[in-house]
Each structure stands twice: as C-alpha cells, then as structure tokens.
A and B are shown apart, each in its own frame.
Chain A
C-alpha cells in the first residue's frame, strides 16, 4: 500500500488544534467584551492597526486564522463521517477548498493592510 497524503492535512489540523487550544478562548473573550459594553483597547482601530503593522503581529494574525481554518476543516470532515455522511471524497474537497480559499483570503487581506 502507499503512504497517504493525509499527513499534510493532518499536520495542519494538529498545528491548528494546538494554536486554537492556546489562543481561541482568550480571543473569544476579547471579542465578546463589546457585547458586554466594554471595548478593550486592542479592539480600537488604531491599536489594532499598530499591532498589525508590525511584521510579527501581522504574521501572528494570519497564522492564527489560517491554522484555525485548517483545524476546523479537517475535523469537520471526520465529524461528518462520524455522523454518517459517507461521501468522504466530496466532503474533503469542499472543506479543504473552503479552508484554502479562506487562507488565501487571509493572506490577501493581510497584504492589503
């Protein structure tokens, strides 16, 4: 048998899983605050721009978005299989294309900043 290329998507999934485990909760808290009437400093246009203008900051944003997408995409594929959706190939195409488009978009916006 041949080795599978799933290693590629799994690698992204695993990296994404780790990143999201560490950062998603705190990011969610940040973006939740406005709904409670609190606007943290970082969410003001000027400070976020300043953060994103630093190369490292910009890379961090893109990395978090991209890896979150791949993590979610791959796990969604498995989850759909677990829920009885057996069209694995079609599912894979849809979720990975979505993740790829999202990743490209993230890169594009980051460049456009």
Chain B
C-alpha cells in the first residue's frame, strides 16, 4: 500500500513575508543593489577622473543635484544596514579561540565597530571635511 505524505509547497515569490526574520534577511540582501549602484557611481567617477579636470568637475557638479541627494541618502541607509548586519555576524564566521575559551562575540563585534568608526573619522579628517 502506498499512502502519500502531504507536501506543502513554499510560496516561491512571497516566502519572505512569512516571518520578520526573513524580512530582515531580504532587506540585507537588497543592500547589494545599492552597494552595486554606488560601485557603478565610483566607476563613473574614476572614468571622469581619468578623462581630465573638466570631466571630473562636471561629475562633481552632477553630484550636487537633488537627484544625487536622494540617491545618496538611500545608498547611505542601505550601506549602514549592510555594515551593521555584516559586523554583527563576524563572530559566527570567524570565532577566535583563546586557550580554553572563545573571545566573547561582543568583543569581536565591538572591535569591528571601533575600527570602523576610527577609520571613518580618519577618512573624513584626511578628506578635509573637518
């Protein structure tokens, strides 16, 4: 006799609405669109820089537009989300064992944040923002 088990299909397009942790995940994944877009912007900038002073200055001019503002704010929001979601899981991917114990996750995560903040401030200072 064969009695078939019942198979429940996973909804292909909407599964991530089923649980808040899936929503958090899919948001994290979507950051790639913005990281990618910004990479493209950098690529264009690099091209402009290579083309000479005028091209570059036109590029910087374009950065001052309202559209650019909107774009940057969106990218910044997702980039920050990417940064936090990336740092928060580092202890999972790279646990550090010291003798009989592991370095507590908070320490590893904290170190990442500390380095990140110092690095960002250094960049801002060297870039002449302050």
| Contact size range, A | 35 or more
Kindly state whether residue B96 has any CB partner on chain A within 8 Å: no
For the complex, give the distance between the alpha carbons of A45 and B51 in Å: 11
Beyond A22-B119, A26-B123, A33-B129, whether A71 also contacts B43 by CB under 8 A is no
> Which positions 21-60 of chain A face chain B at CB distance < 8 Å?
21-43, 45, 47-49, 52
Beyond A68-B35, A105-B47, whether A35 also contacts B66 by CB under 8 A is yes
- Could you give 16 example pairs across A and B, Cβ below 8 Å? A20-B35, A28-B75, A29-B120, A30-B123, A31-B41, A32-B72, A35-B65, A35-B72, A39-B60, A40-B128, A42-B126, A45-B57, A52-B49, A61-B42, A102-B40, A109-B46
For the complex, give the distance between the alpha carbons of A15 and B56 in Å: 29
Kindly state whether residue B18 has any CB partner on chain A within 8 Å: no
Q: Are A76 and B129 in contact (CB under 8 A)?
A: no
List 10 additional contacts besides A30-B124, A38-B129; criterion CB under 8 Å.
A23-B123, A32-B68, A39-B60, A45-B56, A47-B128, A68-B38, A102-B39, A105-B47, A109-B50, A113-B49
| Contact size range, B | 35 or more
- Select one of A21, A31, A71, A110 contacting B63, CB under 8 A: A31
For the complex, give the distance between the alpha carbons of A83 and B13 in Å: 6
A contact residues vs B (CB 8 Å cutoff): 17-18, 20-43, 45, 47-49, 52, 61, 64-65, 68-69, 71-73, 75-76, 78-79, 82-84, 102, 105-106, 109-110, 112-113
Query: What does DSSP make chain A's interface, helix, strand, loop or mixed?
Result: helix
Kindly state whether residue B1 has any CB partner on chain A within 8 Å: no
Q: Are B38 and A35 in contact (CB under 8 A)?
A: no
Q: Are A28 and B30 in contact (CB under 8 A)?
A: no
Please, what's the 1-or-0 string for B114-130, where 1 marks a CB less than 8 Å from any CB in chain A? Answer: 01100110011011110
For the complex, give the distance between the alpha carbons of A78 and B75 in Å: 20
For the complex, give the distance between the alpha carbons of A110 and B42 in Å: 12
Q: Which residues of B contact A26 (CB under 8 A)?
A: 119-120, 123-124
- Select one of A25, A43, A61, A83 contacting B120, CB under 8 A: A25
For the complex, give the distance between the alpha carbons of A39 and B50 in Å: 20
> Which positions 56-83 of chain B face chain A at CB distance < 8 Å?
56-57, 60, 63-66, 68-69, 72-73, 75-76, 79-80, 82-83
